[in-house]
Chains A and B, each alone.
Chain A
Amino acid sequence: MLKIENISKTYGEKKVLNKLSLDLKRGEVAVLMGASGTGKTTLLRILNSLEKADCGSVFLDNKKLDLEKINRTHTIGIVFQSFNLFKNMNVTKNITISLEKTLNYTQQKATEIAQTLLKKYGLENHKDHFISELSGGQKQRLAIARTIALKPKVVCLDEPTSALDPMLTTHVAKTIEGLAKEGYHIIVSTHDTHLIEQLDCTIYLMENGKIIEAIPSQEISTNNTKYSKIKRFIAGSLEEKV
């Protein structure tokens, strides 16, 4: 169980996160929704030690995590919106570099792990290609493979469909569900209502740095008036797209 408790973050006078709390079981998907600037990405960046929270704590299986050292423990991983794959390395090296340099795996062992992951994500024919030679979907699958190669307990995906062709949304949803089934705690930040429709997840609506409503994804299409804010937000997003 991942427990995020009272995380706050202020930039200047703007409170981006305001005592945000969230619980997530192993194998569950939490989707953070909300307008731009509501703190979705900031929360993911804090969880990955790219920003420092002003206050708050994160627990995993009742153990408090030291977020400043989180990257060295590989407990939490992130797949970036623009993937941030290493441009000077080929596909295989993008995965093996962290295994060799941070876990001290031999080149052979790291390459074996990379090959298994590349096969899993349909990239085995691109193992020697450079990043500029990959399509958007391939880049994303490689970014996911690179993250899970380190076997984190929590995987964060920041706007996973924003840099991709809308046709790939179903594929991304399947990949995320696959990760959840493997037992990762998944946190997704997204605006993409089509992605949410295809995910078995809990949707958290964020406003002014807080979660103002949470809803299981199955409830979106029901007539239950309990979750009016999220439904209005999703309906608004769909109208914008039309």
Chain B
Amino acid sequence: MGYKVNIEFLQAHLPALLRGALVSIQIGFFGSLIGILGGTFVGILQTTKSKIIKFFIVAYVNIVRGTPMLIQIGLVHYVFFPLLEINSSAFVSAVTAIGLNSIAYISEVIRSGIQSVDKGQIEAAQTLGLSRIQTNLHIVLPQAIRNVIPALGNELITLIKDSSLASTIGVYELLKEGSIVISRTYDALSVYLMVGIIYLIITSSLSLVMTILERKTKLKC
């Protein structure tokens, strides 16, 4: 008893799955964008001396890391947006929740990257008269980001996979499209196999990009 690939089944359902994959990639892209920009900002804020700022950031990171993303997506879509009278689509809610979640994780990655930069680099910039912002922008961040590219890659891959949770609020992403196909064909094995392979292709491509990026930045330092 072996598993046989059914080409006709593939041809019939692959377009729907690819449509879902595109939505997953969009969630991943916009979620990463929010995560990287917000996470970098929060990561820098974490290195300030202000205890109040640090307290709020630590609280935010702990809440996000300590609760399932499924709950966060539900809270954003069914509680926060309605409370703020924001009429958003499920897609926007999912991107917002995943982005906010990503900010917490990426800020920790950036913070560790910033702290790994030699203190002497900052002192040299200071003695040359560069401002704090200039030092962060031109000296610290480029070195910190280079140091954290592998960890950042892991976060982005996790984010792509977590985009499947958007299906719970009705976003027609890859897993949701897969579930629809299963409900029509009752062939869970074939569909999950196809969905898994598509996820693997997306995450492997991302891994490749991160590896190239790591190699390119390494050459310069």
Query: A27 at interface (Cβ–Cβ under 8 A)?
Result: no
Assess whether A88 is in contact with B146, with CB atoms less than 8 Å apart. Answer: yes
* A48 nearest CB neighbor, chain B only: B127
Whole-angstrom distance between the Cβ of A75 and the nearest chain B Cβ: 10
- Kindly provide the distance from the CB of A67 to the nearest chain B CB, expressed in whole angstroms: 12
Nearest residue (CB) in A for B219 is A130
Whether, in the assembled complex, B118 has its beta carbon less than 8 Å from a beta carbon of chain A, the answer is: yes
Q: A101-B134, A130-B220, A130-B221 are in contact. Are A86 and B126 (CB under 8 A)?
A: no
Contact A80 B120 (CB under 8 A): yes
| CA–CA, A39 and B221, complex, Å | 33
Interface residues of B in 169-221 (CB under 8 A from A): 220-221
Whether a CB of chain A sits under 8 angstroms from the CB of B130 is yes
Q: What B residues does A101 contact at CB under 8 A?
A: 130-131, 134, 138
Asked if B128 and A88 make an inter-chain contact with CB atoms under 8 angstroms apart, the answer reads: no
**Binary interface encoding of chain B residues 95-130 relative to chain A, with 1 for a CB under 8 A from any of its CBs, else 0:** 000000000000000000000001011011111111
Q: Which residues of chain B have C-beta atoms less than 8 A from A198's C-beta?
A: none
- Assess whether A102 is in contact with B123, with CB atoms less than 8 Å apart: no
A82-B130 in contact given A88-B142, A88-B143, A88-B146 (Cβ < 8 Å): no
* B120:A82 contact, CB within 8 angstroms: yes
Interface members, chain B 4-63 (any A CB < 8 Å): none
A6 within 8 A of B: no
Interface-centre pick from A48, A49, A86 (highest chain B CB count, 10 A) = A86
Which residue of A48, A84, A132 has the most chain B CB atoms within 10 A of its CB atom? Answer: A84
Q: Is the Cβ of B128 less than 8 Å from the Cβ of A98?
A: yes
In chain A between 42 and 79, which residues have their CB closer than 8 angstroms to a CB of chain B?
48-50, 71-72, 74, 77-78
Which residues in B have their C-beta under 8 angstroms from that of A48?
127
**A150 vs B138: C-alpha distance when bound (angstroms):** 18
Chain B residue at smallest Cβ distance from A101: B134
- Let me know if B220 and A49 touch, CB within 8 A: no
Q: How far is the CA of A130 from the CA of B126 in the complex (A)?
A: 21
A102 near B129 with CB under 8 A, answer yes
Nearest Cβ on chain A to B219's Cβ, whole angstroms: 8
> Is A220's CB within 8 Å of the partner chain B?
no
| Given A86-B139, A88-B146, A101-B134: A150 touches B128 (CB 8 Å cut-off) | yes
Asked if A7 lies at the interface with its beta carbon under 8 angstroms from chain B, I say no
Q: Report the interface size class on chain A.
A: 20 to 34
- B124 to A: closest C-beta gap in Å: 4
Tell me whether A85 is interfacial, beta carbon within 8 Å. Answer: yes
Partner among A84, A97, A98, A132 whose Cβ is within 8 Å of the Cβ of B123: A84
Tell me, yes or no, whether A146 is within 8 Å of chain B by CB. yes
Which one of B126, B128, B131, B220 has the greatest number of beta carbons of chain A within 10 Å?
Answer: B128
Across the interface, B126 reaches (CB within 8 A) one of A49, A74, A88, namely A49
The smallest beta-carbon distance between A162 and chain B, in angstroms, is 14
Nearest opposing residue in chain B for A130, CB measure: B220
Is A87's CB under 8 angstroms from B221's CB? yes
Given contacts A50-B123, A84-B123, A86-B139, is CB(A146)–CB(B128) below 8 Å?
yes
How far is A150 from B220 in the complex, measured between Cα atoms in Å? 25
User: In the complex the two chains form, is B129's CB within 8 Å of A84's CB?
Assistant: no
What's the nearest-Cβ distance from chain A to residue B215, in Å? 15
- Does B220 lie within 8 Å of A88, measured CB to CB? yes
Output the residue of A72, A87, A88, A146 with the most chain B CB within 10 A.
Answer: A88
Residue contact A98 to B143, C-beta cutoff 8 Å = no
Alpha-carbon gap, A84 to B121, bound state (A): 5
Complex A-B: 12 CB contacts under 8 Å: A49-B127, A78-B127, A80-B120, A84-B123, A84-B124, A85-B124, A87-B118, A88-B142, A97-B130, A97-B138, A101-B130, A132-B221
